[in-house]
Structure 1
Amino acid sequence: MSNLKSAAMAIISGLAVTLLVGSNVQAESDNHVISQPTGSVANDQERLSRPTSASKQRQHQTSHRTGRSEPMLAQATKTEIAKKSHRLILQVNSNEPAIMNLVLNNASNVAQYYGERGEPVSIEIVTFGPGLHMLRDDTSPVKPRIEVLAMSHPEISFRACGNTQENMRKSENRDIQLIPQATVVASGVVRVMELQEQGWSYVKP
């Protein structure tokens, strides 16, 4: 009888220990499961707050575009403006000294204007018809002024119509001498037209 009681007590003690150990193991397991999501959420938040390499690269590219490209573009624009070339045609087809002087005034003013700004300019004074007298050595009323202007402003050139020169030669039955600053072109009108087609500005007095 005593042995049976002892055996019963041993069984009961064993069951109690088993139940106690099982409860502790389950509690530890539950604590582990509960704490795991908290760590995952924290890790996820950390990953979200930490910039990725792709975002860093995008930020660098944006900074490069806004911080460097715009000044370089502005500098390129300034350089392009500074190097822009201006080209002007002035026509003379009248034998009036007042018209010739007006054209020379315009040429001188334009050359001085862009010269003071450091911008290149080319000016052609094209003569034809009665305007050829402006460049004739024997009849030009503005020959002394052309000599001075040509020395001070080499960007101004003078063109004489070859057709007009030939017609005057036939009409007067003698060679038509031009001043040294004049260059003969085949046709004054064609010269004006071709320069306009190349983008030159055209002014007629």
Structure 2
Amino acid sequence: MQATRLLAAVLATCYALVGIPALAHDDAPDHETHRIVIQVSDDSPGTFTKVLNNASNMSNFFLSRGEEYEIEIVAYNAGLHMLRTDTSPVLERVESFTDSVPNVTISACGNTIKGMSKQAGNDIEIVANARVVPGGIVRLMELSDQGYFMIRP
């Protein structure tokens, strides 16, 4: 009899600690913000077009579900050419992208800008809708530490 009461008490405690949250959980997504970072380090218009397409598709998906999201595209090394006003073959789309796709930030590596400026012998310009971060790889690390899911096309 006492063993039955003890077992009932243990089961009730387990149910209270574990069972109730488990029963309350369903397959509905939690309401946390989805965070995605896309790394761009190649001088490839095709790859960068895919990056923009992926960001746009993710944006449309999350908007259709009413879910919050943040997407950041980080360009460094040769990938910075996609953001340069003098070398980007996708300049027009990049310049209008953040106006047409919400919650997307484009970041340009400051170290790469300095290196390319030194090599060119003059300051290089990047698109106005890109912000300069001190270092592209450092930015990727920061975002990873903040829980961003990283994509490298």
TM superposition score normalised by structure 2: 0.80
Match of 1:32 in 2: none
Match of 2:40 among 92, 99, 111: 92
The verdict on how the C-alpha distance between 1:85 and 1:177 changes in structure 2, with shifts beyond 3 A counting, is same
Which residue, 179, 182, 185 being the options, matches 2:127? 179
- Count of aligned pairs: 133
* Pairwise CA distance, 1:74: 6.6
Corresponding residue number in structure 2 for 1:139: 87
2:71 to 123, 127, 132: 123
Structure 1 gap ranges (5+): 1-64
Question: Which runs of at least 4 in structure 1 moved beyond 4 Å after TM superposition?
Answer: none
- AA at the equivalent of 2:92: P
TM-score, normalised via structure 1 length: 0.60
CA contact (8 A) 2:108 2:136 kept: yes
Alpha-carbon displacement from aligned partner over 1:137-169 (angstroms, at most 9, x marks no partner): 111111211233211213111000000000011
Does the 8 Å contact 2:59/2:102 carry over to 1? no
Higher relative contact order (CA 8 A, sep 6+): 2
- Residue 187 (structure 1) shift: 0.3
Distance 2:125 2:63 in 1: 32
Which amino acid in 1 is paired with 2:98?
A: A
- Alpha-carbon RMSD across the aligned residues, in angstroms, is 2.1
Aligned sequence identity (%) = 41
Instruction: Name 1:158's counterpart in structure 2.
Output: 106
Q: Distance in 2 between matches of 1:202 and 1:128?
A: 15
Task: Tell me which amino acid in the other structure corresponds to 1:126.
Answer: V
Pick the structure with more strand per residue. Answer: 2
| Residue matched to 1:44 | none
Q: In structure 2, what is the Cα distance between the partners aligned to 1:135 and 1:172? A: 16
Residues 61-116 of structure 1: CA deviation (Å, up to 9, x unaligned): xxxx9xxx99xx579x96x72x3210000011011111110111111111110010
Alignment partner of 2:124: what SS? coil
Alignment partner for residue 200 of structure 1, among 125, 148, 151? 148
1:202 Cα offset (Å): 0.3
